[in-house]
DNA sequence: CCCTGATTCGC
DNA sequence: GCGAATCAGG
């Protein structure tokens, strides 16, 4: 496979979205993640900072400063082929089915019902915006299986981000899923 | 072990 | 320019 304009464009798009090189490679097909990374570098867009990561300034000697004074006209040919929908679908308010669960009432006890470090929760909310939003069938051993949303509605999906090696959830969700176990020890019954 | 990106270097 | 091999990390 070669780097056609379309493929490069998809590469840029996905890289910009923060997709990993391997994911991009998978999507493109015919290339390895190494190829993707190599291309990314050649394109000079290795830095994914969107303007909020001034922290890292490698003390590496850069013989070629590469000013990057690009001023591409970009006539915008936009030959968008069949691109996978962004996933933001119109959601026809659950037809043929009244809300099984009373509005505003507690959903099935999400594991986060207890006290979890506010940090962890904040982290979750943060990453859930980047979730792949997979369906049950799309889950693999390598995708986070954390459920999000209300199973009774269309607004339900699984995180799908890369799992923490071995575990069933991504880093953020591992944080709220595995608790030191403490609260409920004396459960009289 | 799984994964990530970064770099090198023969092609 | 390309990307496998390798490196360096999480």
A1 contact to strand C (CB, 7 A limit):
yes
**Closest to A158 (Cα-Cα) out of A171, A180, A179, A173:** A173
Distance A84 CA to C8 C1' (A): 34
**Cβ distance A134 to A160 under 8 Å?**
yes
A27 contact to strand B (CB, 7 A limit):
no
The yes-or-no verdict on residue A104 having pLDDT over 90 is no
A42 contact to strand B (CB, 7 A limit):
no
CA distance A21 to A42: 14
Over the stretch A27-36, which tens digit does the pLDDT of each residue have? 888 899 999 9
Over the stretch A122-154, which tens digit does the pLDDT of each residue have? 888 888 878 888 899 888 888 999 999 888 998
A61 contact to strand B (CB, 7 A limit):
no
């Amino acid at each position: 496979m070669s780097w056609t304009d379309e493929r490069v464009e998809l590469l840029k798009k996905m890289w910009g979205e923060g997709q990993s090189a391997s994911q991009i490679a998978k999507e493109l097909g015919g290339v390895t993640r190494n190829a993707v990374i190599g291309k990314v570098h050649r394109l000079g867009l290795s830095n994914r900072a969107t303007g909020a990561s001034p922290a890292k300034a490698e003390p590496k000697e850069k013989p070629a400063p590469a000013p990057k004074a690009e001023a591409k006209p970009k006539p915008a040919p936009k030959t968008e082929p069949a691109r996978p929908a962004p996933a933001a679908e119109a959601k026809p308010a659950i037809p043929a089915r009244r809300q099984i669960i009373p509005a505003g009432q507690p959903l099935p006890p999400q594991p986060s019902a207890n006290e979890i470090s506010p940090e962890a929760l904040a982290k979750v909310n943060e990453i859930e915006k980047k979730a792949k939003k997979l369906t049950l069938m799309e889950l693999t051993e390598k995708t986070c299986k954390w459920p999000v949303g209300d199973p009774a509605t269309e607004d339900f999906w699984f995180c799908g981000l890369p799992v923490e090696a071995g575990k069933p959830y991504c880093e953020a969700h591992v944080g709220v899923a595995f608790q030191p176990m403490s609260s409920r020890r004396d459960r009289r019954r």
